[in-house]
Amino acid sequence: MGDLLTKYFTGDITGEEKETLFRELGHDDELKKDFCAMQNILALAEALPEENDESVGAYSYRSFAARLKKWRMKQFFLHAWRYAAVVCLVAASAYFLTLHWVNKERNLQFTEISAPSGQRVKVTLPDGTTAWIGPCSTLRYANSFNHGTRNVELSGSTYFDVAHNPDKPFRVSTGRYMITVLGTRFNAMAYPENEHFEVDLIEGSVQIDNLSDDTDRLVLKPLEQAIIKNNRLYKKISNFDNEEYLKNGVVHFKRCLLGEVLKKVSLWQGVGLTIDSEVDVNYPVTGKIRQSDSLESILRALQSVVRFHYEIIDEKHIRIYR
């Protein structure tokens, strides 16, 4: 089956061979693990940004990408796919996207994937769950889910389309909270540095537990959102647009407070935020923002509906003032 994997990822597979491969993927856990690993490596390579910067990192990536295109991935997978994670890491080390293989024990292997500011990374987990990792976010998960649960760790935002398995709950740990599902679609946002947390449920159901307070628990229904209010879980109607987010990385806001919008923008862009007291942070904002847009273009768009000025300090901090 290794040859069929190579053919699939180099585009040389026939329709009959593809049917054979997918049939075997449903029965062979090791083959499925190899398939997911290859798919994730390709997702990482595709996610790396094109830049005009002549830095070592930019040059390394362009050289690497050119070789992949020239060889059409064939030699890469024929001779070195098992080491591809290391190759991708070296090529992209000066950038922000990393893949780490942690091999402390044979039965304890993890993958950790981080997305840079303004970009998303799509990966497939070992159980078939699809995850779209949001800007400035990190997802860590075991290379195989062999025990009674499927546990992942999230710092930042990720959209999950969870493969249904009633015998193995899917659990997302954000540090303070645990999100538990069987099979569903939802978006989770948990940036530990400023304690921002929210969950939007698209389909199915999820249970959210405060790990430090047994009495703080929520069960969401579709189109509901969980947030933190007065240091406890609270739910309200969700405005999350599932289809447009998956297609274009666009986030909708409907009468969302200006302060909350600016906070999310700063998290996506990986910059600090200071808002002067004269700014009306409670002004309701309705509109949509593409996560891949530049910081300045997002701020200018917000200025068209709200009066404020901004200052970007050393590309690491935003000051909002009147």
**Domain residue limits, the chain:** 1-92, 96-240, 242-321
For tokens 């302060």, name the residue: 259
* Tens digit of pLDDT at every position of the chain (322 positions): 667 777 766 667 777 777 677 667 656 767 766 666 665 555 555 444 444 444 444 444 444 444 444 444 444 444 444 445 444 444 444 344 445 444 444 455 888 998 888 888 999 999 999 999 999 999 999 988 887 889 999 999 999 999 999 899 999 999 889 999 988 999 999 987 777 899 999 999 999 999 999 999 999 999 999 999 888 999 999 988 888 887 788 998 889 999 999 999 999 898 999 999 999 999 999 999 998 899 999 999 999 989 999 999 988 899 999 9
Work out the number of other CB atoms within 10 angstroms of the CB of residue 192: 13
Q: What is the pLDDT of residue 49?
A: 47
Question: CATH number for the 96-240 domain, one of 2.60.40.10, 2.40.180.10, 2.60.120.1440, 3.10.20.600?
Answer: 2.60.120.1440
Task: Indicate if the alpha-carbon torsion angle 156, 160, 163, 169 is positive or negative.
Answer: positive
Amino acid 248 reads N
Q: Which residues pair with 237 in a beta bridge?
A: 224
Cα dist. 240→79, 153, 177, 224, 253 in Å?
A: 43, 22, 21, 9, 8
Residues 6+ apart with CB under 8 A from 151: 141, 142, 145, 171, 173
d(CA 158, CA 244): 15
Class of domain 242-321: alpha beta
Provide the whole-model pTM. 0.67
